[in-house]
């Protein structure tokens, strides 16, 4: 037991250096990169959410067993899924229309760094 304790104390002196600290401070460009990554993940996340809601609504519809309340709940879930994907597609189309009409790329985050 004494050997284990002494070995533990000895190994404390051989701790590896921590490389978490950066020599360069964070810049506003780093925030822009994070925002661009978040924006690029939103479309696939919306598609996955639509697919999951569609599957869940279909499952609820199949397992309703003819119960009018359960069928109504399943239809509501399917309706919300379809409305959600329509809103996402409409928002994307509006952004593309703005890009086409004005030439401004509104889907890309650009924060001035000066």
Q: Is 110 helix (H, G, I), strand (E, B) or coil?
A: coil
- Percentage of residues in the chain having pLDDT higher than 90: 35
Q: Three-state secondary structure along 82-95? A: HHHHHHHHHHHHHH
Query: Domain range holding 96?
Result: 26-102
In this structure, is residue 18 part of a structural domain?
no
Environment class of residue 43 by beta-carbon count within 10 Å: exposed (0-12), middle (13-18) or buried (19+)? middle
Q: Is the pLDDT of residue 109 over 90?
A: no
The total number of structural domains in the chain stands at 1
In this structure, is residue 8 part of a structural domain?
no
In this structure, is residue 85 part of a structural domain?
yes
Q: How far apart are CA 46 and CA 39, in angstroms?
A: 11
Mean pLDDT along residues 95-110: 78
In this structure, is residue 63 part of a structural domain?
yes
| Maximum average pLDDT range among 6-10, 75-79, 104-108 | 75-79
């Amino acid at each position: 037991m004494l050997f284990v304790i002494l070995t533990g104390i000895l190994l404390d002196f051989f701790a590896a250096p921590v490389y978490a600290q950066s020599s360069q401070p964070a810049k506003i460009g780093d925030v822009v990169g994070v925002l661009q990554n978040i924006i690029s993940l939103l479309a696939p996340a919306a598609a996955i959410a639509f697919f999951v809601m569609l599957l869940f609504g279909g499952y609820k519809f199949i397992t309703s067993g003819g119960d009018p309340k359960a069928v109504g709940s399943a239809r509501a879930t399917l309706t919300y899924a379809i409305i959600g994907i329509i809103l996402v597609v409409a928002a994307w189309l509006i952004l593309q229309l703005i890009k086409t009409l004005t030439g401004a790329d509104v889907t890309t985050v650009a924060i001035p760094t000066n």
